[in-house]
Homo-oligomer: A and B are copies of this chain.
């Protein structure tokens, strides 16, 4: 059943396989009059692009995006926006080795169980190449959110080695190939990942994405809670196995006194004295920064032979060669930012449907 779209008011629907002709996307529900040209999207795609350091896949893809519709004279028209990226480096290599084999940790077995056939070239639709279109949609979402909402992400742990939060520097994130906010951790990771890559192994990672400037009251109070939609958004990214908001799992180890963020007025505005909640209470934004973390498993494509079976039920050994990321978590940073942006854009538009604020004669602090 249809499952290649995301969002309700701001909705994008994607297509494309790793080694197919192209990746594409329809972004629907974008308000009219927003400035949007290809460079606005390309800028974010370039951050996710493969081949930018020795720590990511060496596949060469310029990922040049084309806007096919939905804008006129550089502004959105309110109609659906078609986006297209032609694949360039889908190597015509021989895939006969993995054609019938289920690589451990990959979706090969489950696709066959579901569909009975699959495009096995480079993982087909299951490849993280699909995330390029998430980033493109996220770029459009940022336009919807406007300048007042700032979305940033960082890698906060790699292979179990966490950053020092006291040393957090957002500017540092742009200076190393890991989106790492802590220069010392970045240095350690360079050694770590070099060794992992040489060994043909892989490591996992934890990504943190943050949105600042989000007004209070976005979200919906029961099933479409803002955090529920964020959890879905992040868990839908390839290789993600866990999501948390604010203190997340650590919150379950706090006392009620320590966890509940106190409030005071500051500059005439309601203000939280802490942000254990990660900017969300009761499924609605509080106005404090929205903080989301997600865990990425180690890349399943590794050189060490692993036991598996093939589609005929034979037992086999599998080694995965090819161009892979030793830590897919790195390139997940811009993807996580994009998914945060699309969820916020969707809820911003959904909230507007209720009419202008303050509502129902409510408080206008």
Q: How many copies does the complex hold?
A: 4
In the complex, the answer to whether A160 meets B256 with C-beta atoms within 8 Å is no
Which residues of the partner chain B approach A107 to less than 8 Å between Cβ atoms? 221, 281-284
Is A203 engaged at the interface, CB distance under 8 Å to the other chain? yes
B232 touches A241 (CB 8 A): no
The contact sample of 6 A-B pairs, CB cut-off 8 A, is A32-B360, A78-B114, A114-B218, A116-B359, A262-B308, A311-B363
Establish whether residues B22 and A82, one from each chain, have CB atoms under 8 Å apart when the complex forms: yes
**A228–B350 Cα gap in the complex (Å)?**
21
**Which chain B residues lie closer than 8 Å to A125 at the CB level?**
69, 77, 79-80, 221-222
> A57-82: contact bitstring with B at CB < 8 Å (1 yes, 0 no)?
00000000010111010010111111
**Which residue of chain B has the shortest Cβ distance to A224 in the bound complex?**
B3
Q: Within the assembled complex, what's the spacing in Å between the Cα atoms of A298 and B105?
A: 35
Tell me the smallest distance from the CB of A358 to a CB of chain B, in Å: 5
Contact mask for chain A residues 1-40; partner B; CB cutoff 8 A; 1 contact, 0 none: 1111111111101111100111110101101110000000
Report the bound CA distance from A126 to B36 in whole Å.
21
Interface residues of A in 70-100 (CB under 8 A from B): 70, 72, 75, 77-82, 84
**In the complex the two chains form, what is the Cα distance from A339 to B273 in whole Å?**
33
State whether the Cβ of A166 lies closer than 8 Å to any Cβ in chain B: no
A102 to B287, CA, bound (A): 14
Complex CA gap A128/B130 in Å reads 32
Q: Which 3 A-B pairs have the closest CB atoms?
A: A116-B362, A107-B282, A33-B360
Using a CB-CB cutoff of 8 Å, which residues 195-219 of chain A contact chain B? 201-206, 215-219
Report the nearest B residue to A271, measured CB to CB. Answer: B309
